Structure 1
C-alpha cells in the first residue's frame, strides 16, 4: 500500500486559500453590511486611507494574480478592523481607489460619542498603519435660483453663447463629436427632449438608486450638450460630445445642491476610470486632500478640469493648481491660485430643467459648462489630450478676460483643416480653406 503524503498538493492549497479569501470578501460585501452605510454627508464620518501595494509581475505562471489580490485585500480589511477597534469607530464600508493606490475605509463615530470627528481623524492619521485620514467634507453648487422661461419653443436666440460666441459658426467647424465630458454634479434628466441620447453613462454615487432628475445637473448638461437637431429649446456648446453624468451631489432644496468628499471621490475615480477627457465641476468647498489627489491624477492622464468660480478665494477645486476656473463677470474679483480664471456667459442663460422644460439660470455654475463645452470643440478638431494645466493657454481672451470662442477654435484648427474661421466686424465666419 502506498503511504499518503502529509502535504497537500500545491494546487489544492491554492484552491483552499483562494476559496477562503473569496468567502471573507463576500461576507464583507454582504447586503446586510451595505445597509448600514451612513449617508455620504454624515458629519461623523472619518475616511481612512490604507496604501495599496504597487502592481508587479509574478514570474510563476501558475500563481494567479486574483489570489494575491484577495489576500492583500483581506489583510487591509483586518488592519481597518483593528484601527476601528483601537479608535472606537464603526467600520461601515470600503472603496478601493486604484488610481491613487489606496483603499478608502469609511468609519463612523458612534451616535453617543462626544469626540470631534476632526480630532479623531487627526489621531488616526498619526497611526503608522495609515496613509492618511480625513473628514468627509461638504461642498455645494455655485448657482442662484432659476427663473421660468418660455417652454416648448426654440430658445436658441436667447442663448448668450449664440450671439457672443457665434455658436452656429463654431458648429460648422466642430461639434465636439466623441469627446467624453464628465459632469460631476447632481442628477441629470435623461428623458428631457434636449438630452435624450446624449448621455453615455448615468450613475449615482450618492446612493444605490437610479439617478433622479435634478435641477443643477440637468441645467449644466444642457449648456454643454443639448441636442442641436431637434428644433426644440436650446443647442449645447458641444452637442455631439458624450456625457458621463456622475451624480455626486443631491438637490437638498429648490436652489441648494450639496455634495460630500466621499461621493465626489467616488465620482472622480469613475471619471478617471472611464477616460473622461474633460471634467466639469460646478461646485465649491474647503480644500480636500483626497479630492485634490484625484484631480492631479485626472490631469496627469490628459484630462482638462474646469471649475466654477467660488464666492471667496482659496476654495476647492477652483484654487487647485492646474484647474481652469470660470467666472461670470468680465473682471474676475476672485482668482485661482494659479491665475487661471477666465469669464464666460453665466447670466440669464436658458437651459434644460427637469420635466422637459427650460429656465433661465444664473451663476458661475453655468459659466463653467460653457468653457467645458468649448474645450470639447477644441479637442475634437485634433484629438490631442491636455497636458496638466494647459487648458487655459489654449483659450484666447479679450482685454477683460472674456473667452473669445471664435479665436480660440481658430487657433486650435490644424493647418490642413478644410474650413477655417475668420473674424470680421466682430463676427465669426467659416471660410473654405485650401492648404498649400
Structure 2
C-alpha cells in the first residue's frame, strides 16, 4: 500500500509541470522587443547572423526580466531575430489583465524598442467537402497551365509555405520539399490539411500518374509550420499566432526564399511587418490571402508591397488580384486528394505563378510583374504575366 501511495505521488508530481506548461500556452502573451547589439567581426572569424548567443545576450535577459518584474509580468523566453536587429522576448500576462494594455505599458519603458500583443491569424480556406478528387483543375483551363509549363516550371525558385504541417511524404509532394521546420510551441507535427493543400496547389509533381499538377512543379518548398489545426475533420479551423509566424518569416528571409506564401489573414503586427519588409527588400515576393471581412483585406494582405489575392474579383480601385479559388483539387494528408475552396488556395496559385515569372525573367533586381484586368489588381492574365501578351497567342495554338 505504501508503494502504491508513493507511485501515485510520483505520478502527481510528474503531472504538475505538464499542467503548468499547458496553462502557460493558453495564457495571454505579449512580445517585447529589445535592440540587439551591432554585429561585429573578429580576425579569423565570421558572423553567421543566426540564432546563436552573442556577448550581450545575458545582459538583455537581465533587462527583460527587470522590465517584466516592473510591469507585473513573467518572462517566458525569447527569440533573437538578427535580420531586423531585435531580440524578441515573450512575456506572460496575468489572468484578467488586457494584453493590449500590458503591451502599451511595457512599450513606455525606455529600454524597450516596442511591444505588441501576440495576435491570432486564420487560414483563409473554406471547410473542405469530403468528396473524391475530380479530374479537372480550374486553373489548368483558365491559365492554360500546360502551355505555361512549356516556358517555365519554377525551376530554381524556393517558395516558403508558412502554414500548418505539410505532408512531405504525399505521392504528389515527395521530393518537392527542400526544408521542413516546426515553429509551433508545444504541438505535434502530424501532417495537416491546410498546409498540405497549399503545398500541393503550388508544387505537386507532374507526370507521376496520380493526383494533380502544381502551378510551379519545378520549384522547391520550404515547409515552415507556424499554424495548427484546431480539432479534426474538414471543418477544423487552422490558426496561427504572430509569434510563430514571426519565427517562420524570419527563417524564410534568412534562407533567402524567393516567394513567401501566407495563405492567412489577421490584425496588423509591427513585428511581422518589419520582417516582411526586410524580405521584400532582399528580393522576395510576399503573397497573402485577402479576407473581405477584415479592413483592407486583413494583414498582411493590406501591407504595401504584398501581393494580395482573393478567390473572386473585388470591384474596387486598388483591390486585390483575383485567381481561381473554388473547387480546387489538391493534396491532403495520407496520400489523398480533396476539393478545397477559398482565397488561401487562390493565393497559393499566385505564389506558384510568380515562381514561373521569376524563372522566366531571371534578371537581378527585377520584380515579378503580374498582368491583370486593372493595374495592381483584378483578374490575372497568367499567360501574359509569364511570357507577355505578344507571345500568348502563338503559344496557345
CA gap of 1:69–1:196, structure 2 versus 1, over 3 A, is closer
Residue 118 of structure 1: which of 100, 111, 117 is its match?
Answer: 100
Instruction: Please list the CA deviations of residues 170-224 of structure 1 after superposition, one character each: whole Å capped at 9, or x if unmatched.
Output: 1111110120000111111111111111101111100366632111111100000
Alpha-carbon distance in 1 for matches of 2:172, 2:23: 32
Residues of 2 paired with 1:85 and 1:130: CA distance?
A: 14
Query: What residue in structure 2 maps to residue 241 of structure 1?
Result: 219
TM-score (norm. length: structure 1): 0.79
* Partner SS for 1:49: strand
- What's the offset of the Cα at 1:234? 0.3
- 1:428 counterpart residue number: 396
Q: Within 5 A, what are the aligned runs for 1:289-308?
A: 289-308=270-289
Q: How many residues align?
A: 372
Q: Distance in 2 between matches of 1:301 and 1:95?
A: 22
Q: Which residue of 1 aligns with 2:64?
A: 80
Matched ranges for 1:189-200 at <5 A: 189-200=167-178
User: What RMSD, in angstroms, separates the aligned Cα atoms of the two structures?
Assistant: 2.8
Give 1:291 shift.
0.6
1:286 to 242, 246, 267: 267
1:334 CA displacement: 6.9
- SS at structure 1 position matched to 2:180: strand
- From 372, 377, 395, the counterpart of 1:397: 372
Residue 318, structure 1, aligned to residue 286, structure 2: no
Distance 1:174 1:62, change over 3 A: closer
Q: Does 1:166 align with 2:144?
A: yes
- 1:28-427 matched pairs, under 5 angstroms: 42=26, 44-57=28-41, 61=43, 70-110=54-94, 113-151=95-133, 157-207=135-185, 211-253=189-231, 254=233, 255=235, 256-312=237-293, 313-314=295-296, 315-329=298-312, 331-333=313-315, 339=318, 341-384=320-363, 390-391=367-368, 394-398=369-373, 401-411=378-388, 421-423=391-393
How many Å separate the matches in 2 of 1:42 and 1:384?
A: 47
Q: What's the CA shift for 1:36?
A: 6.9
Residues 324 and 340, structure 1, Cα contact 8 Å, conserved in 2: no
Q: Alpha carbons of 1:64 and 1:136: their partners in 2 closer, same or farther (altered >3 Å)?
A: same
Aligned with 1:280: secondary structure?
strand
Query: What is the alpha-carbon distance in structure 2 between the residues aligned to residue 242 and residue 45 of structure 1?
Result: 34
Distance 1:251 1:303, change over 3 A: same
The whole-number CA distance in structure 1 between the counterparts of 2:18 and 2:76 is 8
Matched with 1:27 is none
**Cα distance, 1:300 vs structure 2:** 0.5
Per the TM alignment, residue 107 of structure 1 is displaced from its structure 2 partner at its CA by: 0.9
Specify whether residues 56 and 196 from structure 1 end up closer, same or farther in structure 2 by C-alpha distance, changes over 3 A only.
same
Q: TM-score, normalised by structure 2?
A: 0.86
Q: 1:231 to 1:82 in 2, by over 3 A?
A: same
Q: Is the CA contact (8 Å cut-off) linking 1:178 and 1:242 kept in structure 2?
A: yes
Distance 1:408 1:319 in 2: 22
Q: State the SS of the aligned residue for 2:252.
A: helix
SS, match of residue 311 in structure 1: coil
Q: Quick one: distance in 1 between partners of 2:273 and 2:68? A: 25
**What are the ranges of 5 or more consecutive residues in structure 2 without an aligned counterpart?**
1-16
Give the unaligned 5+ runs of structure 1.
1-32, 413-419, 430-436
Judged with a 3 Å threshold, the aligned counterparts in structure 2 of structure 1 residues 170 and 145 are, in CA distance, closer, same or farther, namely same
Q: Report the Cα offset of residue 422 of structure 1.
A: 3.1
Instruction: State the structure with more CA Rg.
Output: 1
Deviation at 1:269, TM superposition (A): 0.4
Q: What CA deviation, in whole Å up to 9, does each residue of 1:304-327 have, x standing for no partner? A: 011111123231011001111111
Contact kept? 1:280, 1:369, Cα under 8 Å = yes
SS of match in other structure, 2:54: helix
Contact 1:204–1:210 (8 Å) recurs in 2:
no
- Measure, in 1, the Cα distance between the counterparts of 2:24 and 2:302: 24
